[in-house]
Amino acid sequence: MDSLTVLTFLPLVGAFLVMAMPASQTKAIRLVALATTVITGVIGLSIYAGFDGASAAMQNTCEAPWFTLPGTDIAVAYRLGLDGISVLMVGLTAIIMPIVILSTYGHIHDRVKEFFVWMLIMETGMLGVFLSMDIVLFYVFWEVSLVPLYFLVGIWGGDQRIYATVKFFLYTVAGSLVMLVAIIAMILALQTTNMETMLATASTLPLADQSWMFFAFALAFCIKVPVLPFHTWLADAHTQAPTSGSVLLAGVLLKMGTYGLIRFAIGFFPMMALEHQSLFMGLGAVGIVYGAFLAMAQTDIKRLIACSSVSHLGFVVMGMFALTETGMRGSILQMVNHGLSTGLLFLLIGMVYERRHTRLISDFGGIAASMPIFAVFFIISMLSSVGLPGLNGFVGEFMILAGSFEASPMWGAIGVTGVIFGAVYLLSATRRMLFGPLTRDENRNLTDINLREIGLMVPMVILCFWMGVQPNAFLDKLDGSIGGEGGLMQRIEAAKEQRANNATLNLEATAALSAIQLDENLMEVSR
């Protein structure tokens, strides 16, 4: 059996094992779930280590027939593969999932069996999204990944979990249905479900069809990111989700949206991405600033971190739609950076919530005195999110801003203001929580984080420093897929050239028509 199939479906096998176990055996259930994610993580990291970043071709591919669409000769197949973009997402998932499972020991005590079943099913869905090379298979995995979060928030969430769950469901289902229409139209127009073939032939579709298909995909993925103005479900989902759900949502699930924008909206329709470049760069830039202002207004620390994701992912969207190699590389790197930094912050908020049972910033103050180890990790995570040089966030944001300035100085300048605002709300929240006098007895008696909790965060902290000091170790994986022969930037440059040629032809045609009209007018005057 090929490595990608094992990687994708091993969590599903773990879910079936958990289903077969008695619900009362919570320790054994936790152990099986943890072992499954650890083994999956090891496989994922070994695939990542063996990936050849210099090649633009899909690697570790596997294919098997599935079914034929009735009344057509269109064969839907089981196809998996990965390139430089998807391998980084696989590596991120491999690291995050075992940490998420270990984090549940502090806050998941009811219906443990059902919780881990949904978590493992979700992992299969996420990996399938990143690895699918058949568009029907992609959609199946996309839907599979959405269902577990509905139950995770709806069952194990906070007091307003039903509201948050329904809101999340309505937003995501609406986007998925629009995308399904575009997928069906593409299949019928191109007579294939193979995404590699679609990538090569989508540009042959009439421009009008490309335009509405581009927006259909973009809408679905913008809701998932989420991009302004589709962001309102995120803060509610994060706030009501259990800690592990928030970590997974911030760490991996939101990246499915940005991954989809690169793979489908930009990858399939580079001409349309060029046509609407300013719109999406603007949405990203405005999201950066608006998300920062939203975060400033929050009194709940978890909701503040959730709103910060709107701002940080605004950087990702702005950078990728700059359509420059620097911006594109920075955006993909920042997807990983955000998963690590924000995932760490949600872990830390969950740890202090388990001890203090409040998330209001005003209920804290001076807790660095009673929780010094917690304070150290919180400061590192916050500085990573701010983008301090030497930590992972700096490299990604710098590359995004450099690429954005190259494409549009105006949107790049607005993005820079977001960096300043981000530092304001994160530093302010850190000061109010950690420093100052201990005025509440509840805060004096807080116990510091334990060895298990430290162990959860150490791998992510190491990665934050590693990516800040040696970013090329990760950026090199993108060489072929982004800048190589047949890579994404080559398709964008080809679209630019075609656009320029079309403009020249239109100009020449306009000039010819004008000349004809002038001749006709002269002849009329002579008569």
Q: How confident is the model at residue 507 (pLDDT cuts 50, 70, 90)?
A: low
DSSP letter at 484 equals: S
CA-closest candidate to residue 211, choices 134, 136, 274:
274
Q: Which two tokens stand for residue 340?
A: 């690590």
H or E element, residue 63: strand 59-68
Q: What's the pLDDT score for residue 378?
A: 94
Domain chopping of the chain, boundaries? 276-468+476-486, 497-527
**CA pair distance 232, 468, nearest whole angstrom:** 31
Dist. CA 83–CA 90, nearest whole Å:
10
CA dihedral 225, 242, 125, 341 (to 10 degrees): 50
| pLDDT score, position 511 | 55
Q: What pLDDT shows up at residue 185?
A: 94
At 178-215, the pLDDT tens digits run 999 999 999 999 999 999 999 989 888 999 999 999 99
Q: What is the rounded CA–CA span in Å between residue 427 and residue 296?
A: 11
Give the confidence band of 285 by pLDDT, cuts at 50, 70, 90: very high
Alpha-carbon distance values, 102 to 31, 98, 127, 154, 449 (Å): 10, 6, 20, 21, 14
The pLDDT, as a whole number, for residue 527 is 59
8 A C-beta contact, residue 346 and residue 250: yes
Q: Is a pLDDT exceeding 70 seen at residue 358?
A: yes
Which conformational region is residue 16 in: left (phi greater than 0), alpha (psi within -120 to 50 degrees), or beta? alpha
Phi and psi angles of residue 205, each rounded to the nearest 5 degrees, phi first: -70, 150
In this structure, the strands spanning 75-82 and 59-68 are: antiparallel
HEC assignment per residue over 427-443: HHHHHHHHCCCCCCHHH
506: pLDDT strictly greater than 70 = no
- Model confidence pLDDT, tens digit, residues 75-125: 999 999 999 999 999 999 999 999 999 988 877 888 889 999 999 999 999
Cβ–Cβ under 8 Å, residues 79 and 197: no
Residues 233 and 257: their CA atoms lie apart, in Å, by 14
What sign results for the dihedral spanned by CA atoms 9, 11, 14, 18? Answer: negative
- Helices 392-407, 409-434: axis angle to 10 degrees equals 160
Give the distance from CA 49 to its chain's centroid: 21
Q: Does the pTM of the predicted model rise above 0.75?
A: yes
Residues 6+ apart with CB under 8 A from 346: 238, 243, 246, 247, 250, 302, 305
Q: Tokens representing 202?
A: 């989508």
pLDDT given at position 249: 87
Mean pLDDT of the chain: 89
| For the chain, percent of residues with pLDDT exceeding 90 | 58
Over the range 402-426, which residues count as b (16 or more CB within 10 Å of their CB) and which as e? bbbbebbeebbebbeebbebbbebb
For residues 350 and 157, what is the distance between their CA atoms, to the nearest angstrom?
Answer: 13
Least confident of 286-290, 323-327, 519-523: 519-523
Q: What angle do CA 196, 496, 396 make, to 5 degrees?
A: 75
Is residue 8 within 8 Å of 127, Cβ to Cβ? yes
Joined together, the tokens standing for residue 375 give: 């304070």
* Predicted pLDDT of residue 186: 94
Q: What is the structure's pLDDT at 251?
A: 85
H or E element, residue 75: strand 75-82
Q: List, in order, residues 6 or more apart from 478 with CB less than 8 Å away.
A: 53, 84, 85, 88, 329, 332
Torsion region of 111: left, alpha or beta (phi above 0 gives left; psi -120 to 50 gives alpha): left
Total residues belonging to the chain: 527
Q: What is the pLDDT of residue 104?
A: 87
**Which tokens belong to 490?**
């080559």
Non-local CB neighbours of 51 within 8 Å, separated by 6+ positions: 59, 60, 82, 84, 87, 477
Kindly state the tokens that stand for 307: 């709103």
Assess contact for 381 and 344: CB atoms under 8 A: yes
